[in-house]
């Protein structure tokens, strides 16, 4: 493979002592972030700094006292741990002994390209906004662990995703800060002669230069495309500033760069993937570009479409047509030319636009998921229920079929265990399941054994994690107060009055209105009685951002925030600002109960409840997304579907209060002589068992591999079931 030289390494920290120079290599690959020995090493170097830098080891090495590093380099215990991490890091550089290598020795030479508009890899790399990105990050990590030869392609957002800052009145202001690339493991990829431009893409009549940054996620490289290059028109440079900010024109052009630029950059870097995965409709132009490639090399259009279809996978994540990206023909024409791309593809404008035409809905517009479905023979939703919804939503593309026979399957999302399970719990499981249990985490019988865990010991692990959450909430409030607020009123809302012993409910997710963060406030008096009961107090911790353009979402957020300061709730409601990976970790690991109340069937899957489950935190949720297949009566609580004709919000709120009052609160406070809530711990074990056995990213990746990638890598033709209209 002809790899252009990656840039000059950017050692952004002072020289390391010789004996521990290898740390530079460790921090260059995000695999440290899910290796607990590596993390322990950084924590050992300087624990307060480790916390202050939000677990950013590059920042840590920049700021740590040189004398402290020199001392570490002489400390035998540190050096033993260091050597083990270096050895592991060397192993990550190979694919030896991975599941993929042992199971599929014949497929090793072919790559799978994975396109997504965002990747949530680590707090220090702010190029994601929420669930889709975090899922893509977990997808890459699982591929790395299993040795699956994936290469990721995304966009580089030089200004990251907005930091969330709430005004005193709770209105979300979106800070627009350029992030410091030197404090991340991103490396600019340079072409021949050190040129940052790797490929050009024609757009709006200009040739746009596209560069790329590479971030290593264990064994998986992810290339992030960048148009902020000197030679580009200012309008094009701004394309890769921000994620999901700006109107549809900007978005279309970002997606054009992602799809077309992504394929071209991969080619320049010498990749010839045998399978191509478009994760969500944003990436559909990757498929279009591959059709164009084939046509320009002499393949007739229809045959090119057939070949692209047979090697492509499309995953849809949106259960409502309104959530799909669509563009007007004028926008499409304006972006893709001149000369228009269809000329090169050997088809008319009408034939091209037909690729994205929905037969029933806004027929004139170009629907990204429709184009992706037409150009991918393997299509899936992200939970069993979402698979059903997707077959129903897309049935108009196959008008001669009933929904059940629409060729769309499902792979339920999963979360990356080593990223999401608290290390306190991992270590606890070491002692009960054997130190190598992580290597056997795919064995369902292993997860049956968590039911035998000692209840008091598991409760003690949880209590420690909860104390860590409370401490970090107070620390964040302290810093914000001193640096930024200077206004004591914020302190109540930030959670400083939270009580370590009270039943603590967590709600962390994007503030989209369908997620109904405000459902629990429908009957404030009933909620108040629940929260301020002196014998059995309850408290709620909220976190989440609204999309910068989502005014209704921001209004819900503002209303929720206003409640945090109402004296009647006695400081038992908190809002943690700036929900991102770091905050998400703390929350899913430290609360007692995870709350999830989307209006069914609008949650395609939802993954935060799985993260909570991996930490033994049970979920109370509407029966939507993954919970409609994950809930088993023992691992949490379910709000049943409202009856036909009922006001859904009112019915769901009633069911929510009913469950909390009659089941959740009594069970939590029912303690034995040692103060252990036996019945509650039973729920915790079942939550852990369900998440570990069925909802990890490892399970998800194997399933994608076996059902979707491997057939494509083997060149097997899928049943060719293209849409008929
Ligand atoms: C997991 C996660 C999400 C997605 O959570 P959902 O349950 O799917 O809404 C969003 N943001 C962050 C930071 C996450 O970690």
What is the arrangement of strands in the sheet containing 593-596, beginning at the earlier edge strand? 573-576, 538-543, 503-508, 593-596, 619-622, 636-639
pLDDT tens digits for 675-722? 999 999 999 999 999 999 999 999 999 999 999 999 988 878 777 788
Q: Whose CA is nearest to atom 12 of ligand 1?
A: 130
User: Residue 690: inside a domain, yes or no?
Assistant: yes
Tell me the CA–centroid distance for residue 611 and ligand 1, in Å: 9
pLDDT confidence of residue 615: 98
Q: How far apart are CA 425 and CA 430, in angstroms?
A: 9
Q: How far apart are CA 180 and CA 158, in angstroms?
A: 9
Q: Assess whether 426 and 397 both reside in one domain.
A: no
Give the ligand 1 atom nearest the CA of 135. 1
Tell me the CA–centroid distance for residue 363 and ligand 1, in Å: 33
Give the ligand 1 atom nearest the CA of 515. 9
The DSSP code sequence of 621-672 is EES-TTHHHH--SSSEEEEPPPPTTS-HHHHHHHHHHHHIIIIIHHHHH---
pLDDT confidence of residue 136: 98
Tell me the CA–centroid distance for residue 514 and ligand 1, in Å: 15
The DSSP code sequence of 242-261 is -SS-S-HHHHHHHHHIIIII
User: Residue 640: inside a domain, yes or no?
Assistant: yes
Q: Assess whether 428 and 453 both reside in one domain.
A: yes
User: Residue 453: inside a domain, yes or no?
Assistant: yes
Tell me the CA–centroid distance for residue 219 and ligand 1, in Å: 24
With a Cβ cut-off of 6 Å, ligand 1 is lined by: 130-131, 134, 509-510, 579-581, 584, 606-608, 611
Average pLDDT, integer, range 60-65: 95
Residues 6+ apart with CB under 8 A from 312: 275, 276, 277, 278, 287, 290, 375, 376, 377, 378, 712
Tell me the CA–centroid distance for residue 581 and ligand 1, in Å: 8
Strands 366-367 and 326-327: antiparallel
User: Residue 598: inside a domain, yes or no?
Assistant: yes
Tell me the CA–centroid distance for residue 269 and ligand 1, in Å: 32
Phi-psi region of 527 (alpha: psi -120 to 50; beta: other; left: phi over 0): alpha
pLDDT confidence of residue 439: 86
Question: Could you identify the residue written with the tokens 């040129």?
Answer: 195
Residues 6+ apart with CB under 8 A from 469: 504, 541, 586, 587, 589, 590, 591
Confidence of residue 2 (pLDDT cuts 50, 70, 90): very low
What tokens were used for 435? 């130190």
Question: Could you identify the residue written with the tokens 């002499």?
Answer: 298
Q: With beta carbons less than 8 A apart as the criterion, state whether 116 and 280 touch.
A: yes
Q: Assess whether 248 and 315 both reside in one domain.
A: yes
User: Residue 712: inside a domain, yes or no?
Assistant: no
Residue in 383, 415, 508 to alter for ligand 1 test, most ligand atoms within 8 A of Cβ? 508
Residue in 132, 507, 515, 584 to alter for ligand 1 test, most ligand atoms within 8 A of Cβ? 584
Instruction: Look at residues 393, 413, 433 and tell me which one is the last residue of a structural domain.
Output: 413
Q: With beta carbons less than 8 A apart as the criterion, state whether 191 and 179 touch.
A: no
Answer yes or no: is pLDDT of 173 > 50.
yes
pLDDT tens digits for 23-45? 999 999 999 999 999 999 999 99
pLDDT tens digits for 366-393? 999 999 999 999 999 999 999 999 999 9
Tell me the CA–centroid distance for residue 75 and ligand 1, in Å: 39
pLDDT confidence of residue 659: 98
Q: Assess whether 351 and 207 both reside in one domain.
A: yes
Spacing of C-alpha 494 from chain mean position: 25
Q: Assess whether 9 and 138 both reside in one domain.
A: no
Tell me the CA–centroid distance for residue 578 and ligand 1, in Å: 13
Residues 6+ apart with CB under 8 A from 91: none
User: Residue 105: inside a domain, yes or no?
Assistant: no
Answer yes or no: is pLDDT of 531 > 90.
yes
Residue in 510, 579, 585, 620 to alter for ligand 1 test, most ligand atoms within 8 A of Cβ? 510
Q: Return phi, psi of residue 113, to 5°.
A: -95, 135
Q: Assess whether 328 and 291 both reside in one domain.
A: yes
Q: Assess whether 236 and 368 both reside in one domain.
A: yes
Q: Which domain holds residue 219?
A: 111-163+181-413
Answer yes or no: is pLDDT of 11 > 90.
no
Q: Assess whether 203 and 272 both reside in one domain.
A: yes
**Per the structure, how many domains does the chain have?**
3
Instruction: Look at residues 366, 394, 413 and tell me which one is the last residue of a structural domain.
Output: 413
Instruction: Look at residues 378, 413, 448 and tell me which one is the last residue of a structural domain.
Output: 413
Q: Whose CA is nearest to atom 3 of ligand 1?
A: 131
Tell me the CA–centroid distance for residue 520 and ligand 1, in Å: 20
Q: How far apart are CA 157 and CA 128, in angstroms?
A: 9
Mean pLDDT for the chain? 93
Tell me the CA–centroid distance for residue 612 and ligand 1, in Å: 11
User: Residue 723: inside a domain, yes or no?
Assistant: no
Q: Assess whether 436 and 377 both reside in one domain.
A: no
CB atoms within 10 A of CB 71: 13
pLDDT tens digits for 85-107? 999 999 888 888 899 999 998 88
Q: Assess whether 145 and 51 both reside in one domain.
A: no
CATH number at residue 390: 3.40.50.2000
Q: Whose CA is nearest to atom 11 of ligand 1?
A: 130
Q: Whose CA is nearest to atom 4 of ligand 1?
A: 131
Residues 6+ apart with CB under 8 A from 659: 620, 637, 639
User: Residue 704: inside a domain, yes or no?
Assistant: no
Total residue count of the chain as it appears in this document: 725
Q: Assess whether 44 and 188 both reside in one domain.
A: no
**CA dist list (Å): 706 to 94, 112, 400, 700, 709:** 22, 13, 30, 10, 6
Q: Whose CA is nearest to atom 1 of ligand 1?
A: 608
Q: How far apart are CA 488 and CA 355, in angstroms?
A: 57
Q: Whose CA is nearest to atom 5 of ligand 1?
A: 608
Q: Exposed/middle/buried for 634, CB within 10 Å: 0-12, 13-18, 19+?
A: middle
pLDDT confidence of residue 5: 46
Answer yes or no: is pLDDT of 49 > 70.
yes
Give the ligand 1 atom nearest the CA of 544. 11
Residues 6+ apart with CB under 8 A from 606: 131, 509, 596, 598, 621, 624, 625, 626, 627
Q: Assess whether 621 and 531 both reside in one domain.
A: yes
Q: With beta carbons less than 8 A apart as the criterion, state whether 643 and 510 touch.
A: no
């Amino acid at each position: 493979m002809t790899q252009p030289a990656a840039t000059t390494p950017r050692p952004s920290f002072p020289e390391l002592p010789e004996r521990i120079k290898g740390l530079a290599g460790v921090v260059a690959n995000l695999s440290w972030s899910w290796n607990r020995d590596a993390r322990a090493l950084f924590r050992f170097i300087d624990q307060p700094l480790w916390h202050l830098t939000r677990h950013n080891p590059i920042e840590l090495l920049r700021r740590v006292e040189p004398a402290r590093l020199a001392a570490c380099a002489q400390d035998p215990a540190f050096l033993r741990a260091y050597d083990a991490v270096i050895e592991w890091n060397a192993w990550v550089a190979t694919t030896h002994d991975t599941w993929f290598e042992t199971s599929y020795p014949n497929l090793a030479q072919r790559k799978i390209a994975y396109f997504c508009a965002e990747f949530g890899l680590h707090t220090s790399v702010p190029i994601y906004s929420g669930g889709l990105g975090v899922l893509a990050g977990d997808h890459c990590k699982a591929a790395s662990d299993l040795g699956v030869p994936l290469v990721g392609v995304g966009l580089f957002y030089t200004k990251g995703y907005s930091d969330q800052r709430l005004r005193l009145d709770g209105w979300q202001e979106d800070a627009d800060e350029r992030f410091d690339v030197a404090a991340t493991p991103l490396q600019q990829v340079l072409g021949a002669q050190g040129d940052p431009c790797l490929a050009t893409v024609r757009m709006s009549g200009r040739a746009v230069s596209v560069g790329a940054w590479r971030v290593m996620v264990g064994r998986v490289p992810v290339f992030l495309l960048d148009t902020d290059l000197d030679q580009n028109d200012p309008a094009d440079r701004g394309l890769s500033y921000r994620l999901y900010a700006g109107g549809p024109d900007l978005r279309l052009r970002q997606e054009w760069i992602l799809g077309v630029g992504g394929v071209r950059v991969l080619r320049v870097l010498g990749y010839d993937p045998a399978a191509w995965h478009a994760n969500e409709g944003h990436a559909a132009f990757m498929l279009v570009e591959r059709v164009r490639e084939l046509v320009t090399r002499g393949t007739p259009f229809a045959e090119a479409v057939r070949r692209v279809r047979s090697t492509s996978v499309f995953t849809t994540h949106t259960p409502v047509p309104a959530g799909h990206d669509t563009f007007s023909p004028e926008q499409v024409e304006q972006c893709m030319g001149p000369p228009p791309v269809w000329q090169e593809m050997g088809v008319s404008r009408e034939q091209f636009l037909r690729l994205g035409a929905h037969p029933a809905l806004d027929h004139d517009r170009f629907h990204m998921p429709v184009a992706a479905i037409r150009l991918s023979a393997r299509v899936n939703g992200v939970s069993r229920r979402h698979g059903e919804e997707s077959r129903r939503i897309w049935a108009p593309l196959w008008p001669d079929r009933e929904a059940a026979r629409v060729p769309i399957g499902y792979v339920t999302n999963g979360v990356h265990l080593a990223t999401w399970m608290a290390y306190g719990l991992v270590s606890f499981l070491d002692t009960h399941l054997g130190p190598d249990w992580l290597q056997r985490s795919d064995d369902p019988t292993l997860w049956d054994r968590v039911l035998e865990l000692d209840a008091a010991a598991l409760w003690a692990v949880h209590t420690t994690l909860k104390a860590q959450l409370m401490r970090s909430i107070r620390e964040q409030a302290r810093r914000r107060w001193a640096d930024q607020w200077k206004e004591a009123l914020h302190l109540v809302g930030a959670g400083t009055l939270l009580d370590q012993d009270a039943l603590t409910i967590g709600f962390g997710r994007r503030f989209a209105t369908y997620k109904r963060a405000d459902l629990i406030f429908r009957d404030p008096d009933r909620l108040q009685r629940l929260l301020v009961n002196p014998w059995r107090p309850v408290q709620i911790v909220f976190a989440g951002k609204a999309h910068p353009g989502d005014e209704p979402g921001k209004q819900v957020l503002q209303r929720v925030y206003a409640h945090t300061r109402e004296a009647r709730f006695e400081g038992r409601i908190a809002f943690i600002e700036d929900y991102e990976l770091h905050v998400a970790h703390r929350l899913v690991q430290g609360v007692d109960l995870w709350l999830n109340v989307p209006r069914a069937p609008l949650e395609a899957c939802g993954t935060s409840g799985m993260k909570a489950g991996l930490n033994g935190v049970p979920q109370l949720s509407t029966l939507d997304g993954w919970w409609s297949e994950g809930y088993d009566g023992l691992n949490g609580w379910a709000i049943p579907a409202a009856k036909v004709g009922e006001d859904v919000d009112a019915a769901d709120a009633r069911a929510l209060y009913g469950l909390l009052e009659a089941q959740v609160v009594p069970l939590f406070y029912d303690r034995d002589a040692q103060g252990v809530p036996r019945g509650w711990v039973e729920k915790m074990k079942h939550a852990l068992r369900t998440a570990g056995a069925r909802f990890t990213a490892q399970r998800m990746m194997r399933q994608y591999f076996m059902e979707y990638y491997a057939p494509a890598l083997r060149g097997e033709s899928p049943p060719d079931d293209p849409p008929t209209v």
